[in-house]
Each structure stands twice: as structure tokens, then as C-alpha cells.
Copies of this chain bind each other. A is one copy, B any other.
């Protein structure tokens, strides 16, 4: 990375910084952080404990502190804000955009939260925050900031620019000026480029663009992300149910949504139950992983009970046992593939998506093609290496049936989960693998039972 700053995060610097903290060497801390981007200071402070962070904060300007606070990792921040008085926190929150301030307030208990809001001097800011706290965190209302620049349709461009001047302190990034009527209904926007290039005397009404895309406060964050991606927007105005302009969502917040959703999906798919990272404690990582492992283990025990019914078959034809891993692994692989394709299409909704029945029909054909190819290969291999025809037939037919069954389960499970409001990515995780294992074994030994006349 090429950057104008000379500061670089490194393990050496972190150690030197730790030493400075231990010695309360405020001169070193101040000088080494001078001019450093707050996002970098955040990344550094993520590595220290709440008390140490507090010491550093007290050496920095409130403006820098507020920016660092926005960027800290959530689990670090939750501990950290306990170190501050309500008055301190109110001062930081006043320096933030209302959406970032709301994020901080969400992390506090209701009593503490109200105390901080009471300490905020700017009354408009306080009422903005109270309004934003009313929305769920995962809808447009919970993502938006109140800070935006709006202009009345009847204004001139110079009035517009005067408004920007008035609000400049509050609005970090402008992008567009939103155009409203006297009742605050959103009508359109004036791009920043047109504002610079427009003649000072012309009216907003003459140059504004009435093709504006907006969302309602209740729109889900996934839909907000999809709309901003589709139309390449860096900011999206939010209106209430009556069409009044109430806020604005910026692209940086949506990128966080996209990243968080991808991480949640991965966690569900790989069976790590809560938000863990490599640098968490051994106990936290173990606990996050244990629930899924126990589900898998219980599945394995049920499988063992179940195979117990076929004890006689296994004693007579022990080779049947040899192919248990092939059957369970194939069922698992097919199930994960199928569910992953469905999860992908649920995540990128397409109005032209096939109906449930068409989907299942297609999945059925794909399963027949893949099942047939795999079965023929396995049949050939078993004949070739083991020269046992009934065994080859059993394994081949069972494999074909398992591929069909696992495709069906892998397709239907995410659709059902999605219908009942559960994240469909769960269907690609250890849960579906365990289910497919059991179903696959049932099919396999039932077919063996018939073919061997046992």
C-alpha cells in the first residue's frame, strides 16, 4: 500500500506501543499516533484491553476518538464503552453521524443509553438518535443516517449551495442534494456535478433529476444491498410510508452488511455457531464449535443403532460394510452441492426464478445424469477389483438412489428453511450432512437386503 502516511502497523510497533502503555509514556503515544488515520488506530487498539484503550483515548482529540470508536471491533467496543461516563460518550456520539451514533447506543443497556442521550447538548441530534433507535437494526431505517442535504424544488442553485454551507459541518459526504416539495416529499435529486456546473441563477426545478431510486424505512437490509449494487449507487434516500424523505444510506454501511451476511452464511455452512475469530480464546472457540459436533455425533450414534439392525447382513457379507463411507460421503457431497445452488439463488433473488416444481424437476434430471454416471463407474470398479456381481449391483443401485435422495433433500431443505424464516445456508451445514448420512445408510442396506435375499 502506497500512502502518504509513514505509519505502519507491525508486531514490532505493537510491542513498542505496549511498552509505552506499561510505562505510561504519553509523549511516545501522542507522537507516534499523530496524523495517523483513525481506522489504523482502531486496528491497533483492537489488540489492547479496555483500560489501555481508555488511556490512549484520553491523549487524543475528541474528534479522533469519535472516529476510532466507530471503527473498533464490536466485542472490543462493548467492553471499552463501559470505561467512559455518560457525559464522555455523549460528547463522542455528538461528533458522529447519527447512524454510527445509533450503533454505539444499540450496544448499551436501555438505562445507560437514555442517560447518554440526555447528556447530548444538540437537541436535534438527540431526537435524531431517538428516532433511529426505534427501527430494527436490519432494515433501511436502522441503516440510515439522518444527515443529508435537501433542497426545496423552488430554490435556486445558489440557495442550494448556501444550504450545503450551513449543513457542511454535519454531512461528511454529499454525493447528491435531494429535492423535496414543501411537505418534504422526495421528488428527485441534483447530482453534485450538476451543482458545480450549473449557473448560479438557475432553479433547482430546472436541473433536478426526477428518476430517483429510494427505499422505505421498512425495506430489509438485503434488499437495500441488492438495490445499491444493481444500480451502482453510493447513497440511497429513505422515505417513510407517506413518501417523506427521512434519511440516507451510504455505501460504506452496505458493504458492512454484505460482508456480515457472507460471514454468517459461512458460519452456518461450516458449523461454527457464533461469531468466533482465530484470536479468540481456546474456550470460546471450543464452545462455538461444540454444538454442531454434538449433533454430528448423535447422528453417528443413531447411525450405529441403525446399522445394528443389519448385523446379520454384515456378518454374512462383510464387504457391504466396506462401502459405507462411499455411500455416506456421496450423499453428503451431493446434498451440499444442491443446497449451495439453492442458497445462491435465494441470495440473488431473480423475478424470473422457476417455480418450486420446475426447480425440483430440474434437480431431478441433474441427479439422474450424475447418479447414472457415478453408478456406472462404481459398478465397473467393483466388478473389476472385487469381482462380486451382487455387491457391485447393490452399491451401484444404492449410490444412484442416494444421489437422487440427497439432491431432493438438499434442494427442499433450504427452500423450507427460507419459507419459515430461517437462514437457508443452515441447510448446507452439518445438519443436512448428518440427515443424508442416515437416509443414505437406510437406502443402502434396504437394497442390500432385497438383492441378497437376506
Interface residues of A (CB under 8 A from B): 1-5, 9-11, 14, 35, 37, 39, 43, 47, 161, 164-165, 168, 171, 173-174, 188, 192-193, 195-197, 210-216, 219, 223, 227, 229-232, 234, 239, 243, 251-252, 255-256, 258-259, 262-263, 265-267, 269-272, 276-279, 282-283, 285-286, 289-290, 292-294, 296-297, 299-301, 303-305, 307-308, 311, 314-315, 318-319, 321-330, 332-334, 336-337, 339-345, 350-354, 359, 362, 365-366, 369-370, 373-374, 377-378, 381-382, 385-386, 399, 403, 428, 430, 433-434, 437, 441
The dominant DSSP class at the A interface is helix
In addition to A289-B334, A299-B326, A308-B386, 7 A-B residue pairs with Cβ atoms within 8 Å of each other are A3-B212, A43-B350, A192-B192, A192-B196, A271-B333, A279-B352, A307-B325
Contact partners of A285 in chain B: CB under 8 A:
341, 362, 366
Contact partners of A326 in chain B: CB under 8 A:
297, 299-301, 303-304
Question: With A and B bound together, what is the CA distance between A342 and B214 in angstroms?
Answer: 39
Cβ B324 vs Cβ A318 within 8 A: no
Cβ A325 vs Cβ B11 within 8 A: no
Name the distance in Å between A432's Cβ and chain B's nearest Cβ.
11
Cβ B322 vs Cβ A307 within 8 A: yes
Cβ B196 vs Cβ A341 within 8 A: no
Question: With A and B bound together, what is the CA distance between A321 and B308 in angstroms?
Answer: 9
Instruction: Select one of B161, B294, B322, B441 contacting A377, CB under 8 A.
Output: B294
